[in-house]
Structure 1
């Protein structure tokens, strides 16, 4: 029977632990508390994204989320199935503040979310643990444009802001938090002034954008 089925069936097992779910869900609520709320209405909320209607592991994720949510009565909560979430991120991205999900769904939705703000070149990322953090733009190395001076530097710049946020909160250093906010403010100003890279349908080079950001920060 084994020989007959070879090449016909593949099975993967998804394992989710209470400790792991609690850890990431609490992080989501803490991020919401530190934020200014959702862009559209300013409400601090955490959205639990899962597939609880089909898969038991995701129903478990949702149940642990609901337990942890009781410790954060000041934060609004809601649930969304992942297929519906893909639609909501396109139609009403400003509604969302913090979205928490299992790793695979998060991996997929993070790319979709990046597209809503201009593409992967605009997306910062932070991979943080209890003691260490790693910060980088969400896109890959893009060897096809290496050395051409047209890469979008905003994702990396905003990742630096996320790093300063993380360090500032970890060390209680308001200077780092102010620096992070200033980087975001300057980034918004540069974008508003038309400093757009090729992926944003602009003509500004990597060096030109970076230079302008640095000059504005130094002013």
Structure 2
């Protein structure tokens, strides 16, 4: 799919290298993220990541095998970018016609927050358990700056240009500090708007009026929870792409997991992977100053939308009959049609 879009856009071909990691690999070898795979990620231009978890396969401490968390920490992938956009062909989860205008981005800080406690938690005498949240000035500054830069890009495309700080500053000192640093960064962007929302209120408004949202920035755990809720607004995780962005590396993956109940049946919706690939091409276009890669990303997004909106293929996830292979063929086939429309 990505190769086909790159070719049609006249961009230089991409070279893919596959490495094994994850829960199944851990069960077979005792390694969740082999050194060779880690080094390949380090030296690559970008990382396209597949789902790697498996609920029944766990480390001795009871936690799941999650190599993407190791990669986030190793490469400082501080900004988790979760775009949520409804377009024709997706289920109308909300009855309000304004829900067709859902188009916002959740930016999740990914190197600290409550996830900082991973591997550091304590269980005392089988009676008490503690996990510590970490909020640093440096971490909050860079993710907030990223969110404002993203809002500026969206404003140039006609969006609101508003960044909402999602926190629980009324209860936790760490969250009050997060908001304080947010305000300091916001002051550097007077051309953009800032807003605030407590995470519980934001969850409510995300369901009641998601079309009013633009860019949201939040702590790691809050973002983890809200991103799944957000995906539900457009029909589910099958259309939820994501990017993990750092200063030098980028990792792109569908936000859904491995779905053991349908593993091996070939019925999964590949839409989130296609859209994650488009996000990767957009990021590479900036990194290498090559507009053709951005054009390829646009072709993928348009082909996915064309395939769904014309009902050429409707994923089983949305009550249709198209399996993974059929959806893939449909979207690849739509590339030519959307290219002619763009031309």
| Fold-level similarity (TM above 0.5) | yes
Partner of 1:57: 174
Which of the residues 299, 302, 325 maps onto 1:185?
Answer: 302
Query: Larger % of helix: which?
Result: 1
Which of the residues 111, 133, 139 maps onto 1:20?
Answer: 139
Partner of 1:122: 239
Q: In the aligned structure 1, how far is the partner of 2:268 from the partner of 2:130?
A: 39
Q: In the aligned structure 2, how far is the partner of 1:175 from the partner of 1:103?
A: 33
Equivalent pair of 2:244/2:250 in contact (CA under 8 Å): yes
Which of the residues 288, 292, 304 maps onto 1:171?
Answer: 288
Which of the residues 195, 218, 226 maps onto 1:101?
Answer: 218
> Secondary structure of the equivalent of 1:144?
helix
What displacement does 1:124 show? Answer: 0.4
Equivalent pair of 1:25/1:65 in contact (CA under 8 Å): yes
Which of the residues 196, 200, 205 maps onto 1:88?
Answer: 205
- The TM-score, its normalising length taken from structure 2, stands at 0.59
Structure with bigger RCO (C-alpha 8 Å, 6+ apart): 2
Unpaired segments ≥5 residues, structure 1: none
Q: In the aligned structure 1, how far is the partner of 2:305 from the partner of 2:162?
A: 24
The change in CA–CA distance for 1:37 and 1:144 in structure 2 (over 3 A counts) is: farther
Task: Provide Cα deviations, 1:143-173, integer angstroms capped at 9, x if missing partner.
Answer: 3212222100000000001101111122222
Partner of 1:199: 317
Partner of 2:153: 34
What displacement does 1:130 show? Answer: 0.9
Equivalent pair of 1:122/1:155 in contact (CA under 8 Å): yes
Q: In the aligned structure 2, how far is the partner of 1:35 from the partner of 1:80?
A: 20
Partner of 2:126: 7
Unpaired segments ≥5 residues, structure 2: 1-123, 338-343
Aligned length: 213
Cα RMSD, aligned residues only: 1.8
Equivalent pair of 2:154/2:160 in contact (CA under 8 Å): no
What displacement does 1:50 show? Answer: 0.2
Task: Provide Cα deviations, 1:19-46, integer angstroms capped at 9, x if missing partner.
Answer: 00001111111111222589xx831211
Q: In the aligned structure 2, how far is the partner of 1:185 from the partner of 1:128?
A: 23
Equivalent pair of 1:37/1:43 in contact (CA under 8 Å): no
- The TM-score, its normalising length taken from structure 1, stands at 0.91
